[in-house]
Structure 1
């Protein structure tokens, strides 16, 4: 077994284990930090798959953006709401959760069926691309082009979205403070 295979299995174990912990724990703080580990391990899997750009994008967008927003939402939540969520007593498998469990099992069976029966070499559009040699080969110019377009042509929409997200964050903080002062 090569070092790449060992790293793949370690990263895959970390991703699956931490994702299961996120889904099953009742402690929101631990869940958020394990989600952080899940996203970083997933970026590690992208690096092992030689998709460096996707790995960096994963870290910047999900870890740098989405996870920070989740942390802010958690920190700005009222203590009463968090206590109610953590004090709910429910079993892992109950009658209320039966439709969700059945749907998850059905989805898992479909995924396993597709993975075991697919023959990627005999898919029509893949054969056509290989025979006509029209596949796009990744190179440095593609990634440079994305960066140049993002900082020139699409700079205004990029900055507008960042200002909109900042306004939403400030508004959430303001609403949170008003609620606390009124009580």
Structure 2
């Protein structure tokens, strides 16, 4: 087993374990910080997949932006709201969660079915990429190409995402002012 495989399994275990903890815990503070660890583990998986730009974007946008907004929303919520959330009695399995559990089960069946039936080395698009020599190598500089594409071909989606993040920032500022009689 190579070092890359060991790191992959380690990052995957950390990501899955922390995500299960986030979904299963009742303590919101611990859940938020374990979500932080989950996002960093996903960034580590992106680095191992040679997607360095996506890994940096994961850290900057999700860890640096969205998670901080979640943390501030938690810190600015009133004690009444937090006490109401803490007093809710919820079993891990109950009738209210049945649709979500069925959907998750179906996704698991599809995922396991795909893993067992698909041979990743014999996919048609992988063979065509190898023949055309259209592969991502560890020494290739993708960040420059991504920057050029973001500012030319994909400028509209890039700006739409920036507007979405600005709306999230304005919403968090509005929520923080709401408790002070504004």
Residues of 2 paired with 1:12 and 1:117: CA distance? 22
Out of 164, 173, 177, the residue aligned to residue 174 of structure 1 is 177
Q: Which residue of 2 aligns with 1:76?
A: 76
RMSD: 3.0
State the Cα distance separating 1:134 from its structure 2 match: 7.0
3-state SS of paired residue (1:178): coil
Q: When the two structures are aligned, how many residues end up with a matched partner?
A: 176
Is 2:56 aligned against 1:41? Answer: no
Q: 1:98 to 1:8 in 2, by over 3 A?
A: same
Q: Which residue of 2 aligns with 1:135?
A: 134
Is 2:77 aligned against 1:90? Answer: no
Q: Which residue of 1 aligns with 2:4?
A: 4
Q: 1:150 to 1:176 in 2, by over 3 A?
A: farther
> Contact 2:69/2:169 (CA < 8 Å) preserved in 1?
no
Q: 1:96 to 1:58 in 2, by over 3 A?
A: same
Higher RCO, 1 or 2 (CA under 8 Å, sep at least 6)?
2
Residues of 1 paired with 2:32 and 2:4: CA distance? 29
Residues of 1 paired with 2:59 and 2:175: CA distance? 25
3-state SS of paired residue (1:54): helix
Residues of 1 paired with 2:115 and 2:174: CA distance? 46
Is 2:52 aligned against 1:52? Answer: yes
Residues of 1 paired with 2:95 and 2:152: CA distance? 55
What is the TM-score with the length of structure 2 in the denominator? 0.80
